[in-house]
Amino acid sequence: MDFIKVTKDHAPYVALIELNRPKELNALNIQLMSELGETLKALDTDDEVRVIILTGNEKAFAAGADIRQMAGKGTIDMLQGELFGIWTQISKTSKPTIAAVSGFALGGGCELAMSCDMIIASESAQFGQPEIKIGVMPGAGGTQRLTRAVGKAKAMEMVLTGKFIDAEEALRYRIINRIVPVEVYMQEATKLASEIAAMSPLATQLAKESVNRAFEVSLEEGLYFERKNYYMLYSSEDQKEGMNAFLEKRKPDFKGK
């Protein structure tokens, strides 16, 4: 891996993926995206991993897709997917994902963070969809996920002006979970990841799937889907372990079975 660093045992059952093109502010080139896609695929089926943290560095989570790589491309290149095929992979990850964001999260970088399930931001985080300034528009969820999160008026303003918003504004508009000082944003993301990793991985996976379903279907269908997932968990050992541990006044030891 040239452009990402993977630590599988960052904390018990928590994997850490660090984007690693610091000189280019972690601009997302084809190689980085394909390394990220392969890694996510592998971690998603790894029993030793229950939660995935995605981060950059203090200065930049990611300043967007690599403009140098895109500048000379045509429509057919885009359609053929060499550059962008991997993007859909990210939101397909079945395990909970947390973006730990400091500095710039712009364009594809903002979309990448928003593809994660939760975002912990440092005080220096800045979010934006500046594609309009380079003659294009968001293409990986910036008009859809952002609009669902912040509503039409704010999404229009961000997408049509390309202006960045700071962490405070991102919190106000519910793009992120919380803001912490730069020195501890990784610690905070790890704490959240570890808390979730201590739960039954079967329950977290089905709960994640059910929450995501709320954005796709009617309330009635969503409730039906939720109930099926709920019933399904009663065939797991983790359900017995969780409930017995409660009754026996001890901590549960979930095995993902």
User: Which residues would be at the binding site for ligand DAK (CB under 6 A)?
Assistant: 24-25, 27, 63-68, 84, 87, 104, 106-108, 130-131, 134, 139-140
Active site annotation includes 108:
yes
Q: Between 15 and 63, name the residue whose CB sits nearer to ligand DAK.
A: 63
Question: What token pair was written down for 215?
Answer: 């954005």
Contacts of 86 (CB under 8 A, 6+ apart): 33, 34, 36, 37
Instruction: Tell me the C-alpha distance between 100 and 118, whole Å.
Output: 9
Which one of 131, 140, 170, 189 is the catalytic residue?
131
Q: Between 170 and 192, name the residue whose CB sits nearer to ligand DAK.
A: 170
Q: Between 23 and 152, name the residue whose CB sits nearer to ligand DAK.
A: 23
Q: Between 63 and 119, name the residue whose CB sits nearer to ligand DAK.
A: 63
Three-state DSSP class for 50?
coil
User: Please, what is the minimum distance in Å from the beta carbon of residue 250 to ligand DAK?
Assistant: 47
Question: How many other C-beta atoms can be found within 10 angstroms of the C-beta atom of residue 161?
Answer: 13
Active site annotation includes 183:
no
Backbone angles phi, psi at 182, to 5 degrees: -55, -40
Active site annotation includes 169:
no
Residue showing tokens 């001890």: 250
In the chain, the amino acid numbered 206 is L
Sequence-ordered strand ranges (E) for 89-191? 97-101, 104-106, 118-122, 126-128, 165-166, 178-180
Three-state DSSP class for 220?
helix
Strand-strand pairing, 14-19 and 51-55: parallel
Which one of 63, 111, 128, 140 is the catalytic residue?
111
Active site annotation includes 111:
yes
Task: Sort 215 into a burial class: Cβ within 10 Å, 0-12 / 13-18 / 19+.
Answer: exposed
Which one of 60, 65, 125, 193 is the catalytic residue?
65
Question: What token pair was written down for 206?
Answer: 């089905």
User: Please, what is the minimum distance in Å from the beta carbon of residue 134 to ligand DAK?
Assistant: 5
Q: Between 66 and 238, name the residue whose CB sits nearer to ligand DAK.
A: 66
Catalytic sites, residue numbers: 65, 108, 111, 131
